[in-house]
Amino acid sequence: MDDEWICGRLGEDEPWVMGAVNPPVFENSLFTFATAEELGEAIRNEDERYVYWRGTNPTVDLAQRKLAALERGERAKCFGSGMGAIAATISSLVQAGDHVLVLGAVYGPTTQFLRYLEKFGVTHTHVGDLAGCDSAIRPNTRLLYFESPSYMAYAVVDIAEVTAWARERGLVTVMDNTWSTPLFQKPLTLGVDLVVHSLSKYIGGHSDLVGGVVIGPSRLIRPLALTEYQLYGSAMSPHDAAKVIKGLRTLPVRMAAHQERGLAVAEFLSGHPAVRAVHHPGLPSHPGHATALRQMTGFSSLFSLVLDTESREEVGSFLNKLRHFRIGVSWGGFESLVNAPALSTEESVRATMGIPVGLVRLSVGLEPADTLIKDLGLALEGVGRLA
């Protein structure tokens, strides 16, 4: 199926929509049945049947069907947050005594959750590459978790190589694909078992939604949907599902614009004397660019730069000088955002992840690239060697 058709039309011409230009939002908390036997059968299959809001409903189900089709997966399950999806997915795959390998830098709260699992007897090891995986794997290793491009550093993982390595050793692979969206990268087609996304970012696209999703084969999604999804209570609301559906309608157009603006800003920064490095996989100078071209069809607009400074104060001053980039967490909406881990992350955590003091993350929004470039140029005056 064509991705643009999936985003805009999949499931929206079915009889239950009744010709509404926007699919209906089912606000009811429960569904009733004609007989007790029908209710019993529905409860036994609550991952697919409409029983109670905590399970699913038609609006949420439509969002799930679209997302599964985009990722070329059998099924998807939407959650009330990205961390809800990540926590439930990891929990569904491990038990006391298991070990998890984490390849490369990943979203900070994901690491926090893995540390939380230690009190239940689940351990984990962070490694930088496949050689590190070879050294760190244990007889009780069950899961390999990674992102590509990676968190903050935006290193590119050879997905097919990693999944082949994991498959040979009987490991399940889970990958966070939020950076690329399903339009620019489809990890399931490269051997990944389960894909997770924060729907709060590009897919929602308007900074008015918090949500997450896990996508993969029914054999892994069904037990997760019947157990962790139900018990953790991180259900997506039908109102948020409606926002996901609306966000998907414009996703192809928005991602093309994000790519164009993001690359223009990255190219400007890569030649600036106050910038030591720019970590954007779309730049030919990026170490993973060739791999990215093999497994991706485009690039989003989230990347990082390293200022020519070792001063936290100078990093803060750079952020404060910006006028069009707003200071804040998250990314993927219309507005351009900036954040600096050195101002909010413990030094020990930054050291573990290899994040220097001068690293600044940019989320290039949909404002004119020339406006954003001028804003950055003025803020860079007086940084490092230019001081």
- At residue 378, the pLDDT reads 96
Give dist(CA 269, CA 333) in Å, integer: 21
Non-local CB neighbours of 116 within 8 Å, separated by 6+ positions: none
- At residue 343, the pLDDT reads 83
Res. 124 pLDDT band, cuts 50 70 90: very high
Whether residue 386 is predicted with pLDDT greater than 60 in this model: the reply is no
- At residue 54, the pLDDT reads 84
Mean pLDDT for 123-137 is: 96
Q: Quick check: 141 and 93 in contact, CB under 8 A?
A: no
pTM of the model: 0.94
Whether residue 75 is predicted with pLDDT greater than 60 in this model: the reply is yes
Q: Quick check: 383 and 274 in contact, CB under 8 A?
A: yes
Give dist(CA 384, CA 387) in Å, integer: 5
Bridge partners of 214, per DSSP, are 77, 196
Q: Quick check: 335 and 283 in contact, CB under 8 A?
A: no
Task: Report the percent of the chain where pLDDT is more than 90.
Answer: 88
Residue 219 annotated among the catalytic residues of the structure: no
Residue 176 annotated among the catalytic residues of the structure: yes
Mean pLDDT for 227-237 is: 92
- At residue 139, the pLDDT reads 98
Mean pLDDT for 47-76 is: 94
- At residue 344, the pLDDT reads 74
The mean pLDDT of the chain is 94
Mean pLDDT for 90-112 is: 96
Mean pLDDT for 118-145 is: 97
Catalytic entry in 50, 107, 145, 151: 107
Question: Comparing 57-66, 113-122, 216-225, 375-384, which segment has the lowest mean pLDDT?
Answer: 375-384
Catalytic entry in 158, 176, 193, 308: 176
Mean pLDDT for 330-340 is: 96
Non-local CB neighbours of 305 within 8 Å, separated by 6+ positions: 269, 275, 277, 278, 279, 359, 360, 362
Mean pLDDT for 120-144 is: 97
Residue 169 annotated among the catalytic residues of the structure: no
**CA 209 to centroid of chain Cα atoms:** 14
H helices of 271-288, in order, are none
Q: What is the pLDDT of residues 270-326, one digit of tens each?
A: 989 999 999 999 999 999 999 999 999 999 999 999 999 999 999 999 999 999 999
Whether residue 346 is predicted with pLDDT greater than 90 in this model: the reply is no
Mean pLDDT for 364-384 is: 94
- At residue 355, the pLDDT reads 81
- At residue 1, the pLDDT reads 79
Give dist(CA 212, CA 208) in Å, integer: 13
Res. 125 pLDDT band, cuts 50 70 90: very high
Catalytic entry in 201, 246, 261, 361: 201
Mean pLDDT for 170-190 is: 98
Q: Quick check: 376 and 325 in contact, CB under 8 A?
A: yes
Residue 50 annotated among the catalytic residues of the structure: no
Mean pLDDT for 355-364 is: 94
- At residue 55, the pLDDT reads 85
- At residue 56, the pLDDT reads 86
Q: Rounded to 5 degrees, what angle do the CA atoms 108, 324, 285 make?
A: 60
Catalytic entry in 54, 249, 321, 326: 54
Give dist(CA 266, CA 244) in Å, integer: 28
Whether residue 64 is predicted with pLDDT greater than 60 in this model: the reply is yes
- At residue 350, the pLDDT reads 62
